[in-house]
Amino acid sequence: MSIYINKDSRVLVQGITGREGQFHTRQMLDYGTRVVAGMTPGKRGQDVSGVPVFDTVRQAVRETGADVSVILVPARFAPDAILEAADAGLRLVVCITEGIPINDMIPVVRFIRRTETTLIGPNCPGLITPGECKVGIMPGHITTPGPVGLVSRSGTLTYEVVNALSRAGLGQSTCVGIGGDPVLGTRFSDVLPRFEADPATQAVVMIGEIGGTDEEDAAPYIRTMTKPVIGFISGRTAPPGKRMGHAGAIVSGGKGTAQAKVEALTAVGVPVPLSVREIPGLVQQARDG
C-alpha cells in the first residue's frame, strides 16, 4: 500500500512545455509514472515525450482521466494553476514552484481547505512511492520499496535521509516533501495520520527545521500513534533572525526555535538525533523494539 499516490495514479503536468516541465516529465516517465497529460495555455495539440498537451486542466481531466497534478510553472502563475487544478476536481495537487509570495498563498490555501483537493507544497520536491510512482523532482534512483514512511520540510535532507535508509537496507513506503514555505497546503499533522493508517508503513521519519510551529503542532498526534516516529530538526545552529534556505526557516518573536521543537518531540517519545547518520540506526532500533 501507499499514501497519496501509487502505480495507478494518472498524472497531469501543468507547465509541461517549459524547460523544467519537459525535463521532469521525462524523469517521471522514466521512473514508470503514468504521466497521461500536460497543460500549457495555447499549446493544445502538441506533445512532450509522447504526452499530449491541452489548453486547460479541465480539458486534460476530461480526456485522459488525470487525477493528480504536478505544477511546474513560474511563481506568478502558480496560485492560479493551483486553483484551476482544484476547480477541475483533481484529488491531489503537488506544487513544486518556489518563490510564491506569502500573501498570494494565504487565500489559495484557505480555498483549497474547503475543497476535496489535497495540496502538497508549494516550494516542495513532491513525493514518491518507491517502485510505483514519482510526482515531482525527487531522485528516484536512491529510493527502495520498504516499510519506512518519510515526511520532510527539506528537499535536500529528504534525499540524504532516503539514501542513508536505502544503504542501510531500510526501504521506504512513501516519501513526502511538504515544502519549506510559511504557508503550506499540507503539514506534518496531515501526513502522519495517513502513515498511521497505512499497513505498509512500520515506522516514520519526520524531518523538520527551524521556523514555524508545525513540529510542535504535530506532537500531540504523535503521542497517540502506534508506530514509532524518529525526528530530525535542521538549523539548530542558526542565529535568531537569520533565514536558512527556506522562506519558513527563520526564528522570530521567540517562536520556531530548534530547542522548542526538540523538546516538544522528545516529550512525546520521539528521538531527535544531532546527525542524519544516526537515523537509520534509530529506525532499526524502533522496529526491533
Spatial CB neighbours of 75, under 8 Å, sequence gap ≥ 6: 97, 98, 99, 100, 101
Which letter, b or e, does each residue of 111-143 get, where b requires 16 or more Cβ atoms within 10 Å of its Cβ? bbeeeebbbbbbbbbbbbbbbbbbbbbbebebb
Which amino acid type is present at position 276? V
24 is catalytic: no
- Do residues 138 and 128 make contact, with C-beta atoms less than 8 angstroms apart? yes
**Which is nearest to 11 in space by CA: 44, 55, 47, 57?**
57
Distance CA 236, CA 255 (A): 13
DSSP 25-47: HHHHHHHT-EEEEEE-TT-TT-E
- The catalytically annotated residue of 24, 187, 246, 261 is 246
215 Cβ contact partners less than 8 Å away, ≥ 6 residues apart: 188, 206, 208, 231, 233, 261, 264, 265
Rounded CA gap, 148 and 172, in Å?
4
* DSSP for residue 252: B
**Four-residue CA torsion sign, 62, 63, 65, 70:** negative
Collapsed DSSP state (helix, strand, coil) of residue 147: strand
CB 283 within 8 A of CB 203: yes
**What residues act catalytically?**
246
